[in-house]
Amino acid sequence: MALKYAQWGRVDLSVPMADFLVFNEIAGPFPALGSLSLQVTDRFRPFSDIQINAVRHSPNLKALQLMDQLCAPTAVDDLAILPHTLQALRFLHSESAFWEDFTRIVDHLPHLLHFGTAAYWQPVLNDPRVSASVTSLRVSCERVLDFLTIPTLEHLHVCLTEEDAPMVNFIAHSQCHLTTLSLEVYEDLSDEAFISSLSAVDALRTLVLLLPHRGRLNAARYRLLQRSNVLPQLRVLIITDLARTPVYEPFIVLLQARPALVHAELHMRSWDAFVRRNMPPPPAHVEEELAALVDRGMTVRMTTQTYAWPWNAEDGDPVGDLDVDVFGIRHMRPHFFSPF
C-alpha cells in the first residue's frame, strides 16, 4: 500500500506515535492527496518539532485535521507549512496566541471555508476582531467568538456556557445568517441565556443539541423549545441527551408542539457506560406516539446504546454535515473529510 502513496486521495489514521513515525518516513510527494486526518493515540501535542511529510508535500491538500490522544485538535509549530490550497482546517491554538494564529491563518489560506479549533481558556480582548470569510466554524469556547467577525458564516458549532451571550453578540456584529447551529449546552446555563441564544438565530432551520447529564434541568429545555416563537423556521432537530434517565415523554410533547418539523432525533447517551448499557427503551405508548408522528410525515429517530426506533435509526444523515463521536453524540463538523 505504501508503494501507491502517489495515488492516495484520502488518509485517515488513528495510530500510536511509533506507527505514525513509520508512516511519516514516506517522503512523498502526494500529488493526489486531498484530505488528511491524523491522530496520535498516545501523546499530547504529538506534532511539535515534527515535520509532517504528508502536509509539507501535498500540493493539492484541501482538508487537514490533527488530533492528540484525547481526540482534541492539536497544533503544528509552523503555520507556514500549511498548504495554501486548504479549504478545511481543524487544530489547536496556544492559549496566548489565538488572535495572532487565526490572523495568520486567514492571510495564509485564501480558500479556507471550514475552520475548527479547541480553545478552553477565557481570552482577554486586547485586540480588534479578525474578519474572515469561512462558511462553517467549530469552537469549544464561546468566548473565542468575541475575537471574530464572519458575515459569511452558515454553520456554527459552539459550547454554550456564558450568561452574557458572546454568541448573540457575535451574530449581531457579524450579521451572519446561520442555517445550522450545533450547541453543547453547559449544565448551569440559565433558561434566559439559552433562549437568548436561540432568539438570535430565529431563521434557523437545523438545530443540533448536546444536553448535559442533569435530566431534571434538561426538561426545562424541552419545554422552552415548545414555544412557537422560538425558532419558527426550524425543520430539523437532533438532540443527544446525557441524562441518566430517559426523557422520552418531554421529547414526544416537544415534537407534537412543533408539527412543522420534518426530521427529529433523540439519542440517550450518558457518559456513564453502565447507564448507557442499561438505559430502558421507551414504553409502548411512546412508540405509538412516534408512529403517529411518522404517519403525519415527520421522520423520527430514537436510540440508546442497545435500542433503535426504527431499527435502522442511525442510518443516513438528514443535513449532510454531522459527525458522530465515540459516544454516538451528533456534532456538526466544520470540515468534510471525504474525497473532494
Q: How many CB atoms lie within 10 A of CB 111?
A: 12
> What pLDDT is recorded for position 339?
40
Which has more pLDDT, 41 or 263?
263
Instruction: Identify the band that residue 313 occupies on the pLDDT scale cut at 50, 70 and 90.
Output: confident
Calculated CA dihedral for residues 139, 144, 146, 148, nearest 10 degrees:
-60
Check whether 290 has a pLDDT greater than 90: yes
Give residue-wise pLDDT tens across range 241-253.
988 889 999 999 9
Task: Point out the least confidently predicted range of 73-82, 227-236, 319-328.
Answer: 319-328
Task: Point out the least confidently predicted range of 112-116, 184-188, 283-287, 321-325.
Answer: 321-325
> What pLDDT is recorded for position 258?
93
Judged by DSSP in three states, 333 sits in coil
109 grid coordinates: 489560506
Instruction: Identify the band that residue 145 occupies on the pLDDT scale cut at 50, 70 and 90.
Output: confident
Cα 114 to Cα 191: distance, rounded to the nearest angstrom = 30
Check whether 96 has a pLDDT greater than 70: no
Cα 170 to Cα 163: distance, rounded to the nearest angstrom = 14
Instruction: Identify the band that residue 98 occupies on the pLDDT scale cut at 50, 70 and 90.
Output: low
Instruction: Identify the band that residue 82 occupies on the pLDDT scale cut at 50, 70 and 90.
Output: confident
Contact indicator for 135, 153 with CB cutoff of 8 Å: yes
To the nearest whole number, what is the mean pLDDT of the chain?
81
**Which phi and psi (to 5°) does residue 317 adopt?**
-140, 110
Integer Rg of the chain from CA: 21
| Residue 208, beta-bridge partner list | 182, 238
Cα 134 to Cα 106: distance, rounded to the nearest angstrom = 9
209 grid coordinates: 443539541
> What pLDDT is recorded for position 337?
46
Nearest to 210 by CA among 310, 324, 306: 324
Which has more pLDDT, 117 or 243?
243
Domain ranges of the chain: 1-86, 179-340
> What pLDDT is recorded for position 105?
82
Query: In three state form, how does the secondary structure of 100-169 look?
Result: HHHHHHHHHCCCCCEEEECCCCCCCCCCCCEECCCCEEEECCHHHHHHEECCCCCEEEEEECCCCCHHHH
Average pLDDT over residues 129-156: 85
Give residue-wise pLDDT tens across range 3-14.
788 888 888 888
Give residue-wise pLDDT tens across range 16-69.
989 988 988 888 789 988 888 888 888 777 777 778 888 888 999 988 888 776
Cα 39 to Cα 330: distance, rounded to the nearest angstrom = 20
Average pLDDT over residues 162-177: 86
Please report which helix (H) or strand (E) contains residue 217, including its range.
helix 215-225
* Residue 297 burial (10 A CB sphere; 0-12, 13-18, 19+): exposed
The structure's pTM equals 0.83
